[in-house]
Structure 1
Amino acid sequence: MDAPEHLPPPVRVLNETGASPYVLLCEHASRFIPAAYRGLGLGDHDLARHIAWDIGAAQVATCLSATLDAPLVLAGYSRLLIDLNRPPHSETAIPEISETTSIPGNRGLSEAERARRISAYFDPFQAAVGHLLDARQAAGVQSTVIGIHSFTPVFKGFVRPWQAGILYRRARVFGHALAEALGGASSAIAENEPYAIDDESDYTVPVHGEARGLDAVLVEIRQDLIADDEGAASWASRLAQALKSIEKRQLYT
């Protein structure tokens, strides 16, 4: 009889008491899908693609956490089971199609299965973030929420010209300052690209940031730039320098 599958926790918190004003989230850190789901009907090639996780994001976030002494919350399961940066009621939270790829195992889900995925994967991650931010607030520690993501160089045939994008909504001063500290448009750093934040398509910024009155941004890095250890470490260093420069100037909303 086969041994039972070892299942990772749905969320890991690293450096929970880190002194940095930055709180890092990596909602798409993992591509793990339990064997019982049979890969949601996808092959190994598709499960290694961006549709299943944000390539390189966990490595960048982990390096950045260590460099800044910042807490980091990492997802343990694939975004294809449920996307942790989407409201759970959103049509894109459990996608039937991701980019142009059909996801057979997400078609026609029962309400019970949707509720099970929310309970098993979504709720633990959001609870960990909420607990961390509550504890920091109670201790009087400044918190700025930063989600670390990656994006595909080509999306539905469109070649994306940016190296990275800083996505923000209410945190205009901080978001613009971070983009500029990374080099701005002259270094192919975009603002609110490759997409814009809204309440239907995003969870981290509206809920963990804006609803608490905290600055919150998403950092999107082109995945081919961080797909190996060297690239991830380089971008983590670049982000750390930019964030430290902003911290010195105290550029918060």
Structure 2
Amino acid sequence: MNPFNLLFDKPAYTLYRYNPDNPLILVCEHASCYIPAQLQQLGLEDKAAKEHIAWDIGALDLAKGLSDKLNATLLVANYSRLLIDLNRPLEAPDSIPDVSEIYTIIGNQNLAKEHIEARQVNIFKPFHQKLAELIAESKQRHDNTRLVGVHSYTATYKGQARALQAGVLYMQARHYGEQILAGLAKDPALIIAANEPYQCAYGEDTTVPLHGDDNHIPAVLLEIRNNEINELAKIDRWVKLLSPVL
């Protein structure tokens, strides 16, 4: 037995809601900043271990709000993306990052092969297997299955303030992505864009290209600036904005 398996003391995911009658599947890959105590926060100080490098602040509460409003299936991650990033292929250089933004992740440096494999086996593979199962089941039941990842991003990046309030990221699902953007654009005060502040790509992402496009279902990532969803009232506002267009 791989001794590193013992480090992982909770399941890889929580199925917050399961509703196979709804063709919409929500997923929150960066929902948690949890790092098992034995890993000593990967060498990070308390503040850094709770910052955006560890999880998408506000994304879980937004995803839950959307799931509640729409009665839609929601799969959420239970571990920090610093352990292994669920929206990166295993071969991606930042699958297990040793540097993130301005922080050096000491606990991710010079990892034994067995430790890397334990993170893959205990976190990455169960999460993606479950998501694949949910999608396969939904495709059997519906001809309009669609997948939405819920993410957030920092208001300031490398010292530069970001005016963008939200982005909708997509590859092949242009029609679905533009439908969401058009719905949001009915509020002229919103600053929104397609494929900003990031873009999805094979070799860099898993949710959109692999679970979505490769399954021939519409798939997008929602990226909301995290100071837009750091309070309950703000989250409620975005639930009301997004739920009619998803």
The C-alpha deviation readout for 1:107-134, integer Å capped at 9, x for no partner, is 1112211111000110111011011111
Counterpart code for 1:203:
T
TM-score w.r.t. length of structure 1 = 0.90
How many pairs align? 240
* 1:52–1:184 distance in 2 versus 1, CA, 3 Å: farther
Pair 1:240 & 2:243 matched: yes
Aligned residue in 1 for 2:152: 150
Change (3 A) 1:112 1:30: same
For 1:183, the equivalent position in structure 2 comes to: 185
User: Which residue pairs with 2:14 in the alignment?
Assistant: 12
Describe the shift of the 1:45–1:30 C-alpha distance in structure 2 as closer, same or farther (beyond 3 A): same
- Counterpart residue number, 2:225: 222
After TM superposition, which residue ranges in structure 1, 4 or more long, deviate above 4 angstroms? none
2:28 maps to 26
TM-score, normalising length from structure 2? 0.93
1:163 to 149, 162, 165: 165
SS in 2 for 1:148: strand
Q: CA offsets, 1:193-237, max 9 Å, x none?
A: 001111122110011101100110000000011012221222122
Deviations 1:164-184 (A, max 9, x none): 000011111111111121127
Q: Shift in Å at residue 141 of structure 1?
A: 5.3
CA contact (8 A) 2:28 2:74 kept: yes
User: What secondary structure is seen at the aligned counterpart in 2 of 1:78?
Assistant: coil
8 Å contact kept, 1:59–1:233: no
**How far does residue 159 in structure 1 lie from its aligned partner after superposition?**
1.8
Q: 1:88 deviation in Å?
A: 1.0
**2:199 aligned with 1:196, yes or no?**
yes
Contact 1:184 1:190 in 2 (8 A): no
Residue in structure 1 matched with residue 215 of structure 2 by the alignment: 212
- Counterpart for residue 110 of structure 1: 112
Q: Deviation per CA, 1:29-65, whole angstroms, max 9, x where unpaired?
A: 0000000100000011001100000000000000101
Query: Counterparts of 1:163 and 1:156 in 2: how far apart (Å)?
Result: 17
**% identical equivalent positions:** 38
Gaps of 5+ in 2: 1-5
Q: CA deviation at 1:6?
A: 9.7
CA contact (8 A) 1:19 1:69 kept: no
